[in-house]
């Protein structure tokens, strides 16, 4: 018995019902050992503090498309889920809770604070997992991992100890990004840069031994001059040849510092003289290393001037800046102040301005690791797609710096190193030691720092599968098949996974890395809360349904091009969901009592229309499979959209009605089978993109099902017996004639209910026979009442004409339209359009608008002008045709 679908598609009940069913039945589960080919993806672990945003939605939709596609192709699919402990972010969340209770972490102490964080995670952490499930993510949730769970913690410790034994981990006093509020080192990705208006202060440094002579240096941070240990000029700058090797007097501090020559100096910037502050600027640090300069740190951990800043000790860095500038001015040593735009780095959690800060930290020596990771992409063991990102990867890896892995916070993997207060030895061990490994003293204390969050994330592809144990999962699923990620973490995460995977597993962690673009707003602007242009995925899912949202993301996921997302687009794809639903309802209403299993396909007498739709289905299967395999998600989605809407719904459903309702039982039986067959295959093609609606409809289809869910059904394959290129070509000629007649109706605004007269003048006997054989379809679909077909028929005087191949289509217009009224209507329409053209043209000719308005607004106005100009041309064409009839 055929199941009847509801009149309208209501996604929310369908989504919750089917997701629960899939999860309960274990359809997402991978087998540790299997005869099936393996396919594996590790999810980029979202922060445990996170909530679903557009980046997550796109990233996980694309991963889910791949996993569902491969599962349907018979692969043993592992999509490994999990979350990241997100050291600083999570610690900040809990510290805010404590602040509300008028406490801080030091009131609790380290152990109690960590306990409090675990408590927060148990109660509130990981909400994003539930949100990913709403998105339809078919992860193997039974294997969900957390970067601080017991197994991953063991992997992290093993890697640290082994790298230390290999001489690849060391401690050093170097410059790092420092947050004066969070009191910790930050990675470059944890520093968010923002363009702000600032100043460039030009300061006079007196030349020692030459009273009245100065060199002028420019700085955006005058307070750091307290730590200057040199000024530098370019070695080939003729202006300063006589100064190299001499000394200048550091203003206010009155300390003599040398003038050094270094290629780093830009002769064109300012006066060509720069101050060198090795302890407070990354470039200056390198200059200092080259010239053996002292490093004077003038700030404490809170960004307050320390004793090295002499008379300014105790002042906050920005207060010190004001006072130093005022005193320079009073001393006649401030030459000028320029307005200066600059990129200011802020802590990604608390937004405090970050300082380059000299600090003793732990580092990984990455050059030996980077060498292998570089070679693996160059020799093709790992592909980065789109290919343009390979050059970015190569550039980073060839210019890589050692990795600072220590963080001065409490939440995270505590570094397994113990300092001996007796002999100064550092003991690094898998198990907590009770005494010093060198002198045997029990006066040892563990390092208080924790590891950078990216350290544990770098092990994700193999640690999640049970390493350091040699598990069946590692044997089956490593290296993984594909990683889907954003370009912003290509270096911070992808490159580090490559290095760690090759070092510890002796194999690349993934065969393909697919880099997807950003999701921006409708005008191409980056989404941000401050701009108020953020689209919340969960709100969109509530409003339009998950399938419409997923299909929108896939349809716009072109390689290398950012997605401009507007809610109207999601609404448009909700209409597509409704189209699929209504097509299924029509099909099912005509399959009452139909048993597809009783039909022998090879015995069917297929019509031209049947052969055409089956041929186009075959081509769509081939094209979709190829597009997904090449990560061209947008092409796969748009091909399916085109086939579903324009071919199956708009053409075949209409063409099939003659057979369904024409009274011939044999023709009806064939049409029913082709409808069922096409819809069944179409649903399976659409399933990776739109999992919920396809499952709901597929379950209602008649026929014996060999699997309980569309998730487990075979993905369609192109096959020779569906290929009918000649029949498809003939059918497309018929459709072109029908479209030509419809175009004339549309141009002349003939009401849809009104039948018209049509004459076809064929250029060949073969065309005349083809048109005659299909006159029923032409008359029915084009609403033709009086129909004549002939060879080389002369065009009637009052006819509108269209051409389809060697067939001329004549539609006599006498009596069909009121010529005078139609002329008047068209003249009025053209008049309105001309006013619009004038308005847009004036605006775009106005330099004040073009130069001052945002680029996306100007582009939109240009698009409108092109649109109305094209519309005017169409209307003028219609007017010309009407005038010929007068």
Tell me the per-residue pLDDT of 724-782, one tens digit each, with 9 for 90 and over: 999 999 999 999 999 999 988 888 888 888 899 999 999 999 999 999 999 999 999 99
DSSP 8-state symbol, 648: I
Cα gap 633→563, rounded to integer Å: 13
- Show Cβ contacts of residue 261 under 8 Å, excluding neighbours closer than 6 positions: 232, 233, 234, 235, 244
**Cβ distance 515 to 527 under 8 Å?**
no
Position 277 scores a pLDDT of: 95
Asked if the model's pLDDT at residue 560 lies above 90, the reply is no
Alpha carbon distances (Å) from 304 to 284, 315, 361, 552, 718: 21, 6, 20, 51, 70
Q: What is the mean pLDDT of residues 498-505?
A: 98
Asked if the model's pLDDT at residue 1 lies above 80, the reply is no
Cα gap 407→413, rounded to integer Å: 10
pLDDT band at 862 (very low <50, low <70, confident <90, very high): confident
Structure tokens at 117: 């964080």
Q: What is the mean pLDDT of residues 607-630?
A: 96
Q: What is the mean pLDDT of residues 53-72?
A: 96
**In the block, residue with structure tokens 């953020």:** 534
The pTM assigned to this predicted structure is 0.86
DSSP 8-state symbol, 594: -
Instruction: Give me the percent of the chain exceeding a pLDDT of 70.
Output: 99
Give SS3 for 732: helix
Position 833 scores a pLDDT of: 86
CB-count exposure of residue 446 (10 Å: 0-12, 13-18, 19+): middle
Q: What is the mean pLDDT of residues 546-556?
A: 96
Structure tokens at 800: 């509108």
Residue 141 burial (CB count, 10 A): 17
Q: What would you report as the CA-atom Rg of the chain, rounded to the nearest whole angstrom? A: 36
Give SS3 for 340: strand
Asked if the model's pLDDT at residue 885 lies above 70, the reply is no
Asked if the model's pLDDT at residue 606 lies above 70, the reply is yes
Q: What is the mean pLDDT of residues 195-215?
A: 92
Position 616 scores a pLDDT of: 97
Name which of 181-195, 259-273, 298-312, 507-521 the model is least confident about: 181-195
Mean pLDDT, the chain, as a whole number? 92
Q: What is the helix, strand, coil percentage profile of the chain, to 5?
A: 50, 20, 30
Beta bridge partners of 791: 762
Element (H, E) at 708: none
Element (H, E) at 730: helix 725-747
Give the pairing type, strands 807-812 and 799-804: antiparallel
Residue 632 falls in which region: left (phi positive, over 0), alpha (psi -120 to 50) or beta = beta
Residue 269 burial (CB count, 10 A): 11
Element (H, E) at 693: helix 691-700
230 compared with 871, residue with greater pLDDT: 230
Q: What is the mean pLDDT of residues 88-101?
A: 92
**Cβ distance 134 to 15 under 8 Å?**
yes
């Amino acid at each position: 018995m055929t199941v009847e679908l509801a009149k309208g598609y209501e996604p929310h009940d369908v989504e919750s019902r089917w997701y629960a069913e899939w999860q309960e039945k274990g359809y997402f589960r991978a087998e540790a050992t299997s005869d099936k080919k393996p396919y594996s993806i590790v999810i980029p672990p979202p922060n445990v503090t996170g909530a679903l945003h557009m980046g997550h939605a796109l990233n996980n939709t694309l991963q889910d498309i791949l996993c569902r596609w491969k599962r349907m192709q018979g692969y043993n699919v592992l999509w490994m889920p999990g979350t990241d402990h997100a050291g600083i972010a999570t610690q900040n969340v809990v510290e805010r809770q404590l602040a509300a209770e008028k406490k801080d972490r030091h009131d609790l102490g380290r152990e109690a604070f960590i306990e409090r964080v675990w408590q927060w995670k148990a109660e509130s952490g990981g909400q994003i997992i539930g949100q990913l499930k709403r998105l339809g993510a078919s992860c193997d949730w039974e294997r969900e991992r957390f970067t601080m769970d017991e197994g991953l913690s063991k992997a992290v410790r093993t890697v640290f100890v082994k790298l230390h034994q290999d001489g690849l981990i060391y401690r050093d006093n170097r410059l790092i990004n420092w947050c004066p509020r969070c009191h910790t080192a930050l990675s470059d990705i944890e520093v968010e840069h923002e363009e702000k208006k600032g100043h460039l202060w030009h300061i006079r440094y007196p030349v020692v031994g030459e009273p009245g002579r100065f060199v002028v240096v420019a700085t955006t941070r005058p307070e750091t001059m307290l730590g200057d240990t040199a000024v530098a000029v370019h070695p080939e700058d003729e202006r300063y040849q006589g100064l190299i090797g001499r000394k200048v007097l550091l203003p206010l501090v009155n300390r003599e510092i040398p003038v050094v020559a270094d290629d780093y100096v830009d002769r064109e910037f300012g006066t060509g003289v720069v101050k060198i502050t090795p302890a407070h600027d990354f470039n200056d640090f390198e200059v200092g290393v080259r010239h053996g300069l002292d490093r004077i740190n003038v700030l404490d951990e809170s960004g307050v001037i320390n004793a090295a800043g002499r008379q300014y000790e105790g002042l906050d860095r920005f207060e010190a800046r004001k006072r130093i500038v005022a005193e320079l001015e009073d001393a006649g040593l401030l030459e000028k102040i320029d307005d200066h735009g600059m990129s200011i780095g802020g802590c990604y959690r608390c937004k405090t301005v970050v300082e380059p800060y000299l600090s003793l930290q732990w580092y990984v020596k990455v050059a030996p690791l980077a060498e292998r990771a570089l070679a693996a992409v160059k020799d093709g063991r790992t592909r980065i797609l789109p290919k343009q990102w390979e050059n970015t990867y190569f550039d980073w890896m060839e210019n890589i710096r050692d990795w600072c892995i220590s963080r001065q916070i409490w939440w995270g993997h505590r570094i397994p190193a113990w300092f001996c207060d007796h002999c100064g030895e550092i003991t690094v061990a898998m198990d907590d030691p009770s005494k010093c490994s060198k002198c045997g003293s029990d006066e040892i204390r563990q390092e208080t720092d924790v590891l950078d969050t990216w350290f544990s994330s770098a092990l994700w592809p193999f640690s999640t599968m049970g390493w350091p144990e040699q598990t069946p999962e590692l044997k089956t699923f490593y290296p993984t098949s594909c990683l889907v990620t954003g370009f912003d973490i290509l270096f911070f995460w992808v490159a580090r996974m490559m290095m760690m995977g090759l070092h510890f597993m002796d194999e690349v962690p993934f065969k393909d890395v697919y880099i997807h673009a950003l999701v921006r707003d409708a005008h191409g602007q980056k989404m941000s809360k401050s701009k108020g242009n953020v689209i919340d995925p969960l709100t969109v899912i509530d409003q339009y349904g998950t399938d419409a949202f997923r299909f929108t993301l896939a349809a716009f996921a072109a390689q290398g091009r950012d997605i401009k997302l507007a809610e109207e687009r999601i609404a448009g794809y909700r209409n597509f969901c409704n189209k699929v639903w209504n097509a299924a309802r029509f099909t099912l209403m005509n399959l009452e009592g139909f048993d597809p299993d009783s039909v022998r396909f090879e015995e069917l007498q297929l019509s031209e229309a049947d052969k055409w739709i089956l041929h186009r289905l075959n081509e769509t299967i081939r094209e979709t499979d190829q597009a997904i395999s090449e990560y061209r998600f947008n092409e796969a989605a748009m091909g399916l959209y085109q086939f579903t809407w324009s071919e199956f719904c708009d053409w075949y459903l209409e063409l099939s009605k003659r057979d369904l309702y024409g009274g011939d039982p044999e023709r009806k039986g064939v049409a029913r089978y082709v409808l069922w067959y096409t819809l069944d295959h179409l649903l399976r093609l659409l399933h990776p993109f739109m999992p919920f609606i396809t499952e709901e409809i597929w379950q209602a289809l008649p026929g014996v099902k060999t699997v309980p869910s569309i998730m487990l059904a075979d993905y369609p394959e192109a096959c020779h017996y569906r290929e009918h290129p000649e029949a498809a070509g003939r059918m497309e000629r018929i459709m072109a004639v029908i479209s030509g007649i419809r175009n004339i109706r549309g141009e002349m605004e003939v009401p849809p209910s009104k039948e018209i007269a049509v004459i076809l003048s064929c250029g060949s006997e073969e065309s005349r026979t083809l048109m005659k054989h299909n006159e029923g379809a032409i008359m029915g679909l084009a609403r033709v009442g009086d129909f004549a077909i002939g060879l080389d028929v002369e065009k009637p005087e009052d006819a509108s004409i269209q051409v389809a191949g060697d067939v001329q289509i004549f539609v006599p217009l006498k009596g069909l339209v009121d010529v005078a009224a139609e002329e008047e209507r068209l003249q009025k329409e053209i008049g309105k359009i001309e006013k619009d053209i004038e308005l847009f043209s004036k605006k775009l000719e106005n330099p004040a608008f073009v130069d001052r308005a945002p680029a996306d607004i100007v582009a939109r106005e240009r698009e409108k002008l092109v649109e109305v100009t094209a519309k005017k041309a169409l209307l003028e064409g219609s007017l010309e045709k009407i005038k010929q009839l007068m």
